Amino acid sequence: MSRFSSRRGKENPEVSTASLPDIIFMLLFFFMVVTVLRDSELKVAVVTPSATELTKLEKKSLVNYIYVGKPTKQFQEIYGTSPRMQLGDKFAIVEDIPIFLQQHKLNVPESQHGGITSSLRVDGNVTMGIVQDIKTQLRKSGQLKVNYSAKPRAEELK
């Protein structure tokens, strides 16, 4: 005689799915809060040059980006193939830089105005005349913290 009875015919209980919608909404809310959307769409093609001595910018919210390069294919019919400057989401000229800097300062607390940095993301094939004009306008506007974006050299990655 066996002490244990066989459990034939009994099935495992089903897993409760009552808490599944709660878990899904928590994950959805988490990804909505954590995801950072791109501030601007690149309208110029920028291939940054390589460098050896690089430092990473600490506070990305204090950085305003100035892109310089050839317009992408969809904008070449309108703007041509010569290098252009992009401030935010639109093409601009050098004289638009003070307005762009002022708009960026409005979004930053006044106590952090001294930490604002302008980052130049310039294509490697652009002539330095355009970059010099941008630097001169930044200096006239009182923006003295300037950063050049670059990518690390291949031998530095190893």
Average pLDDT, the chain: 88
Question: How would CATH label the architecture of 44-157?
Answer: 2-Layer Sandwich (3.30)
Section 27-47 average pLDDT: 85
Return left, alpha or beta for 52; rule: phi > 0 is left, psi -120 to 50 is alpha, else beta: alpha
Domain map of the chain by residue range?
Answer: 44-157
Sign of CA dihedral 23, 39, 104, 106: negative
Q: Give pLDDT, residue 7.
A: 62
Indicate whether 62 pLDDT > 70.
yes
Q: Give pLDDT, residue 64.
A: 92
